[in-house]
Chains A and B, each alone.
Chain A
Amino acid sequence: MTELVSIPGHWDFDYTYFAGEAASRFFAELRNTRVMGATCPDCRRVLVPARSFCDACFQRTTDWVEVGPEGTLETFTIITAAFPGLPEPPIVMAYVTLDGADTALVNLVLGLDLSDIGAAAAGLQRQPRVRVQYGPEPQGRITDFAFVLA
């Protein structure tokens, strides 16, 4: 029987992701503690986070508007298992539609009592109101804020 060969490997590639002007402006506004959406001239939806085009209408967006800071939690998960390379559980991640927006954005929900996962989940299934809470030192990244119960 031939000994089967396997070779250790590492999959590592370098990238520089350009956020572009629209996302850069969105991040700059985040530093000013404002969450912005962009309006599609065709469907009139306020798209959050702001972006330069509406994929449904295949059209450039126009006016920017501030949304939130409060909103409605739409759906969520509570991550309870650890995965290599990802943050330590438990973590609550949710999609929230901020007031004035037509679309929801994803972020973490902080400050919840997670001692009983089932009870925490039942509470979140009631779609609580949440608000945007900024971290101490905004970096101009999507992680500058999280949601907390309003």
Chain B
Amino acid sequence: MTRPAIYVEGAALEISFADGRRNLQELIFDTVRAAVDDSGQPMHEIDSVVLAAHDLVDGRSLSSMVTSPAAGAYLRDEIRYGDDGAGALAAAVTRLEAGHARRSIVAAWGRSSEHSPDQFSRSLFEPFRSRPLGLDEFVLSAMRAQLCLSAGDGAGPARERASLRRIDSARANPRALRGGGFRSAPHFPLDDADLPLWADVTAAVVLSTEPSPIRVAGVGQSSEPYNFGDRDLRTITSLKTAAGRAAADAGFGADTADVAEVDGLTLIDEALGLEAIGFAAPGTGLRTLAGDGRANPSGGGASGYSPPSMGLVRVVESVLQLRGTAGSVQQRSVRRAVATGGSVVAGQTQTVVLLEAV
């Protein structure tokens, strides 16, 4: 069965922190309105809204009840995933391919200034075996980092250079957080600069079945077991599988992309992510982040971070690269881009999106 092609018509994102002038709904409205304006489509041409938001991040026990109208859901077909934004985008793609909608808003957000990311992270652990130990999602990242650094995978100088380059990219990225934000306390062997900069993040795109310059060439998704002990910590298996599925879908792989925007909770996770999708060879993720401008030109988690929006932020950054409008982080002649988004618990579910300029 041939599926109809899906295009990105509009995109917008904003990263801010504790902007008291706007409540959560107003932050969402501003970004979704901007994405719709960017698409050039009137609201009546949009028949679907697909959201990614989390109740505990939003501090509203049924977030979309209050927030979905701010994302354009009024008298439209709307669904909310309590999952990463790239996952929501993948689901929106199926809606359009199935003919269940013609044009869809996809929006995701998280407002770190309103909640405590550490409390959120700890609550992800079930109360019997893991929560009493005080685990959070960084524990898995730290254990991964330990394995990867002790194996000498670009450890030492590469890690330092990758870290510095990430900060430089974030400084250069006009969409990165300017002032404010905060970081969690790092677990050994992670340090401050490896951690995400918690921020208020909203991202939105408009997808359509009508041709426009950016095409969603391939989408792949996968998952891993809940228990860390059941996972292979040397790599991100679910991301690898998802990348394979996206490549099969697109007819080209992430290794041929001109830009990779990879979501990871920490610098090391971003490096492992680049390896998992095949943009960097095994063991070279940190070196790639350190030396290859096409790997996370946005500055990744250093530009501002909040689940569950990051996969969609990566998609928007990729779209801007493909359009040549990414500003001072723009890479040269970008025809293909790959974006990834991982979701709780500790990257347990992963989505890979391959985009192409047509």
- Which of A14, A15, A19 has the largest count of B CB atoms less than 10 A from its CB? A15
Cβ B113 vs Cβ A13 within 8 A: no
**Cβ–Cβ contact B69 & A55, under 8 A:** yes
User: Judging by beta carbons under 8 Å apart, are A15 and B21 in contact?
Assistant: no
- Chain B residue total in the interface (Cβ 8 A): 30
Question: Which residue of chain B lies nearest to A15 when distances are taken between CB atoms in the complex?
Answer: B59
In the assembled complex, the CB of B74 is this many whole angstroms from the nearest CB of chain A, namely: 5
Taken together as a complex, chains A and B put the C-alpha atoms of A135 and B238 apart, in Å, by 57
Residues of chain A within 8 A (CB-CB) of B115 are 13-16
Look across to chain B and name the residue whose beta carbon is closest to the beta carbon of A23. Answer: B23
Chain B residues contacting A53 (CB-CB under 8 Å) are: 25-26, 29, 33, 70
Residue in B25, B36, B75 with the greatest tally of chain A CB atoms within 10 Å: B25
List CB contacts (< 8 Å) of A15-63 with chain B: 15-24, 52-53, 55-58, 60
Q: Are A16 and B21 in contact (CB under 8 A)?
A: no
Which residue of the partner chain, among B23, B113, B127, contacts A19 with CB atoms under 8 Å?
A: B23
Taking CB atoms, residues of chain A closer than 8 Å to B119 are: 13-14
A18 near B36 (CB under 8 angstroms)? no
Select from chain B the residue with minimum beta-carbon distance to A54: B74
Given contacts A5-B128, A13-B123, A17-B59, is CB(A55)–CB(B74) below 8 Å?
A: yes
With A13-B123, A58-B33: A18-B128 Cβ-Cβ less than 8 Å? no
Residues of A within 8 A of B301 (CB): none
Given known A-B contacts A53-B26, A55-B69, A58-B33, A14 and B116 have beta carbons under 8 A apart:
yes
User: A122 in the interface, Cβ–Cβ < 8 Å?
Assistant: no
**Would you call A7 an interface residue if the criterion is a C-beta within 8 Å of the partner chain's C-beta atoms?**
yes
CB distance from A114 to the nearest CB of B (A): 30
Judging by beta carbons under 8 Å apart, are A16 and B74 in contact?
A: no
User: A14-B115, A15-B59, A17-B59 known; A58 and B23 CB under 8 Å?
Assistant: no
Pick the contact of B18: A18, A19, A52, A57 (CB < 8 A).
A18
The smallest beta-carbon distance between A26 and chain B, in angstroms, is: 11
Contact of B72 among A14, A20, A52, A58 (CB under 8 A): A58
Q: Given A7-B127, A13-B59, A55-B69, are A20 and B74 neighbors across the interface (CB < 8 Å)?
A: no
- Shortest CB-to-CB span from A56 to chain B, Å, is 5
B1-28: which have CB < 8 Å to A?
Answer: 18-26
Main secondary structure of the interface of A (DSSP, over half): loop
Tell me the bound Cα distance from A21 to B19 in angstroms. Answer: 10
Kindly state the separation between the CA atoms of A53 and B114 in the bound complex, as whole angstroms. 21
B21 touches A21 (CB 8 A): yes
Near A by CB (< 8 A), chain B positions 28-86 give: 29, 33, 36, 43, 56, 59, 69-70, 72-75
For residue B24, which residues in chain A have a CB less than 8 angstroms away from its CB? 17-18
Q: Which A residues lie within 8 Å of B74 (CB)?
A: 55-56, 58
Rounded to whole angstroms, the CA-CA distance of A38 and B123 in the bound complex is 39
Give A21's nearest chain B residue, CB to CB.
B21
Assembled-state Cα–Cα distance A23/B120 (Å): 27
Cα separation A16 to B20 with both chains bound (whole Å): 11
User: What B residues does A15 contact at CB under 8 A?
Assistant: 59, 114-115
In the complex, what residues of B have CB within 8 A of residue A58's CB? 29, 33, 36, 43, 72, 74
User: Within the assembled complex, what's the spacing in Å between the Cα atoms of A20 and B127?
Assistant: 36
Asked if A136 is at the interface of the complex by the 8 Å CB criterion, the answer is no
**What is the chain B residue whose CB lies nearest that of A57?**
B43
Contact check, A9 vs B26: say whether CB atoms are below 8 A apart.
Answer: no
Instruction: Report the minimum CB–CB distance from A13 to chain B (whole Å).
Output: 5
- Contact of A18 with B22 in the complex, beta carbons under 8 Å: yes
Measured CB to CB, the closest approach of chain B to A57, in angstroms, equals 8
A residues adjacent to B (C-beta < 8 A) = 5, 7, 9, 13-24, 52-53, 55-58, 60
Pick the 9 closest A-B CB pairs, nearest first.
A20-B23, A15-B59, A55-B69, A21-B21, A20-B22, A55-B74, A53-B29, A58-B43, A20-B26
Residue pairs across A and B with Cβ atoms less than 8 A apart, 14 shown, are A13-B115, A13-B116, A13-B119, A14-B115, A14-B116, A16-B113, A17-B24, A18-B114, A19-B20, A20-B22, A21-B20, A24-B20, A52-B26, A58-B29
**20 other A-B residue contacts (CB within 8 Å) besides A14-B119, A53-B26:** A13-B120, A14-B115, A17-B23, A17-B24, A18-B24, A19-B23, A20-B20, A20-B21, A20-B22, A21-B20, A22-B23, A23-B23, A24-B20, A52-B26, A53-B29, A53-B33, A56-B75, A58-B29, A58-B43, A60-B33
